[in-house]
């Protein structure tokens, strides 16, 4: 089954949970393998389980070209960001500012606002200009002075699919002496991303969305030399250089990103994501992007013809893989999503913003059916 098959042809939720041909069967097989492993009365459970987790880390490293020893797992993006923020030396935070954009993933803002008093920093949220839809890069830069200890950049937003000029922002952060973090969740897997190209101090993501995985399988990359400075608050036996060192008075952090591990790690989400990462790794990323770009342009024209306001950038090089449109004020977004669902067309809304993300299984016919359904409903 491929992108021209009927199944999944009307799927537009790659900004949320991505699909690929055979996902259900492959994930079920992977999870059944874990069940068999843990239900067999022998001594192979941990050796084989940790090999699964290590393969997950290695596949992610290859995906974003991260150096060995700089990437580890987290339950989700928020947990990954917390691990770094809690591990930073006071000199990066106390008495300084932490910068984030108002169109960030809200969970990250909740996290940073909650940590501000305890870590002694001021959280600065760069606003969206009145009448506009995303935070401009120049506005983010205008707030980014030498008193900013940490800046957390959203590479691609979840509400407009705006893609910032990440390279310029990171370079500015270097000049300001700030720690620069990047949330790549909404872009990785559809827009090429390589750690060495941007050289942010830390990167957080999940394996959902364009990577077509499952929840619970986040990642954290931390660049040297910042990695060596971090002393994570949440630590345990897996945070050590030697995880089997159980002397209570001689704890020593691992020299690499394993220092951000803690107690006994989870295995199931990483096992369930490996088939998706393997599938992604076997595709030509330029083919995936070209397929997406072509369908998004059809959506731009079609939604514009319906009179919907496009709230995503018009230029492809300023967008991720999604298109967002503003529904009429008198419309019922929940009812619209339900109407689409009944026609095997899957999208969602944030308020009156309709989010459309065509991916590898979405077809031209699916886009045409969606536009016809929107015309009938609106």
The answer to the question of residue 21 being in a domain is: no
**Same domain, yes or no: 204 and 261:** yes
**pLDDT tens, per residue, the chain with 378 residues:** 333 347 899 999 999 999 999 999 999 999 999 999 999 999 999 999 999 999 999 999 999 999 999 999 999 999 999 999 999 999 999 999 999 999 999 999 999 999 999 999 999 999 999 999 999 999 999 999 999 999 999 999 999 999 999 999 999 999 999 999 999 999 999 999 999 999 999 999 999 999 999 999 999 999 999 999 999 999 999 999 999 999 999 999 999 999 999 999 999 999 999 999 999 999 999 999 999 999 999 999 999 999 999 999 999 999 999 999 999 999 999 999 999 999 999 999 999 999 999 999 999 999 999 999 999 998
- Render pLDDT for 246-285 as a digit per residue (tens, 0 to 9): 999 999 999 999 999 999 999 999 999 999 999 999 999 9
**Same domain, yes or no: 348 and 233:** no
Residues 328 and 337 sit within 8 Å (Cβ to Cβ) = no
Give pTM, 2 decimals. Answer: 0.96
- Dihedral sign, Cα of residue 148, residue 150, residue 152, residue 155: positive
**Same domain, yes or no: 238 and 106:** yes
CA-based nearest residue to 158, from 137, 140, 185, 131? 185
Residues 377 and 42 sit within 8 Å (Cβ to Cβ) = no
**Same domain, yes or no: 289 and 231:** no
CATH of the domain at 132: 3.40.640.10
List the domain range (segments joined by +) for residue 101.
27-280
CATH of the domain at 335: 3.90.1150.10
What's the confidence (pLDDT) of residue 1?
A: 34
Last residue of a domain, one of 280, 301, 328: 280
What's the confidence (pLDDT) of residue 7?
A: 82
- CB burial of 300-321 (b: ≥16 within 10 Å; e: otherwise) equals bebbeeeebebbbbeebebbbb
The answer to the question of residue 15 being in a domain is: no
Report the distance separating Cα 246 and Cα 318, nearest Å: 51
Report the distance separating Cα 365 and Cα 363, nearest Å: 5
What's the confidence (pLDDT) of residue 6?
A: 75
CA atoms within 13 A on the CB side of 180: 25
> How many domains, in total, are found in the chain?
2
**Same domain, yes or no: 74 and 176:** yes
């Amino acid at each position: 089954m491929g992108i021209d098959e009927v199944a999944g042809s009307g799927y537009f939720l790659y900004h949320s949970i991505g699909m690929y041909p055979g996902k259900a069967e492959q994930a079920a097989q992977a999870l059944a393998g874990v069940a068999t492993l843990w239900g067999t009365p022998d001594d192979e459970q941990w050796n084989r389980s940790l090999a699964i987790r290590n393969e997950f880390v290695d596949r992610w490293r290859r995906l974003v070209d991260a150096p060995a020893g700089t990437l580890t797992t987290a339950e989700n993006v928020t947990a990954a960001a917390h691990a770094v923020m809690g591990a930073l030396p006071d000199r990066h935070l106390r008495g300084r500012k932490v910068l984030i954009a108002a169109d960030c993933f809200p969970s990250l803002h909740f996290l940073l606002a909650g940590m501000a008093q305890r870590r002694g920093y001021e959280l600065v949220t760069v606003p969206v200009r009145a009448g506009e839809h995303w935070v401009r890069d120049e506005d983010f830069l205008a707030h980014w002075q030498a008193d900013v200890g940490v800046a957390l950049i959203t590479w691609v937003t979840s509400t407009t699919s705006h893609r910032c000029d990440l390279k310029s922002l990171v370079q500015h952060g270097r000049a300001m002496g700030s720690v620069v973090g990047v949330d790549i969740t909404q872009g990785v897997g559809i827009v090429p991303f390589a750690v060495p190209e941007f050289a942010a101090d830390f990167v957080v993501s999940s394996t959902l969305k364009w990577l077509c995985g499952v929840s619970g399988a986040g990642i954290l990359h931390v660049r040297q030399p910042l990695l060596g400075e971090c002393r994570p608050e949440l630590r345990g036996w897996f945070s050590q250089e030697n995880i089997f060192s159980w002397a209570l008075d001689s704890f020593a952090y691992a020299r690499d990103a394993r220092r951000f591990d803690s107690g006994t790690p989870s295995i199931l989400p990483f096992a369930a994501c490996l088939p998706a990462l393997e599938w992604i790794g076997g595709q030509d990323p330029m083919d995936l992007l070209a397929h997406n770009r072509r369908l998004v342009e059809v959506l731009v024209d079609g939604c514009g013809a319906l009179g919907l306001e496009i709230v995503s950038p018009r230029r492809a090089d300023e967008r991720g893989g999604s298109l967002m449109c503003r529904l009429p004020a008198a419309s019922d977004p929940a009812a619209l999503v339900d109407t689409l669902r009944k026609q095997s067309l899957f999208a969602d809304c944030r308020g009156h913003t309709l989010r459309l993300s065509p991916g590898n299984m979405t077809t031209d016919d699916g886009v045409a059916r969606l536009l016809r359904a929107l015309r009938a409903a609106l």
